[in-house]
Amino acid sequence: MQIINNPDKSDWSQILKRPTQTVDDIEATVNQIFDEVRQKGDAAITKYTSYFDGITLQSNVVTTEEIQEAVKKVPEKLQKAISLAKQNIEVFHAAQKTAKIAVETSNGVQCWQEKRPIEKVGLYIPGGTAPLFSTVLMLAVPAQIAGCKEIVLCSPPNKEGALAPEILFAAHLCGVTKIIKVGGIQAVAGLTFGTKTIPQVYKIFGPGNQFVTVAKQLATKHGVAIDMPAGPSELLVVADETANASYIASDLLSQAEHGTDSQVILVSTSKELTQLVSEEIEKQMNVLPRKAIAEKAIANSKLIYVETEALALQLINQYGPEHFIICSKNEDFYVDGIANAGSVFIGDYTPESAGDYASGTNHTLPTNGFSKAYSGVNLDSFLKSMTFQKISKEGLLNIGETIELMAEAEGLQAHKNAVSIRLKDLK
Query: What single letter denotes the amino acid at residue 249?
Result: A
For 5-13, the CB contacts below 8 A with 24+ separation are: 5/271, 5/305, 6/305, 6/306, 6/307, 7/304, 7/306, 12/315, 12/318, 13/318
Q: Which of 166, 234, 257, 322 is catalytic?
A: 322
Q: Which of 323, 331, 352, 404 is catalytic?
A: 323
Question: Would residue 322 show up in a list of annotated catalytic residues for this protein?
Answer: yes
- DSSP element (H, E) containing 326: strand 323-327
* Strand order, beta sheet including 323-327: 2-5, 302-305, 263-268, 234-239, 323-327, 343-346
Is residue 144 within 8 A of residue 151, CB to CB? The reply is yes
233 is in an annotated binding site: yes
Dmax (CA) of the chain: 85
415 is in an annotated binding site: yes
CA–CA separation, 256 vs 98, rounded Å? Answer: 37
186 is in an annotated binding site: yes
Concatenating the DSSP letter of every residue in 13-49 gives HHHT--S---HHHHHHHHHHHHHHHHHHTHHHHHHHH
Question: Would residue 222 show up in a list of annotated catalytic residues for this protein?
Answer: no
Concatenating the DSSP letter of every residue in 112-127 gives EEEEEE-SEEEEE---
356 is in an annotated binding site: yes
Is residue 376 within 8 A of residue 362, CB to CB? The reply is yes
Q: What share of the chain is helix, strand, coil (3-state, %, to 5)?
A: 50, 15, 35
255 is in an annotated binding site: yes
Is residue 240 within 8 A of residue 271, CB to CB? The reply is no
| Residues classed as catalytic | 322-323
Known binding positions? 124, 186, 209, 233, 255, 258, 323, 356, 410, 415
The binding site for substrate consists of: 233, 255, 258, 323, 356, 410, 415
> Which residues are known binding-site members for NAD(+)?
124, 186, 209
Please report, in range form, the residues annotated as the binding site for Zn(2+).
255, 258, 356, 415
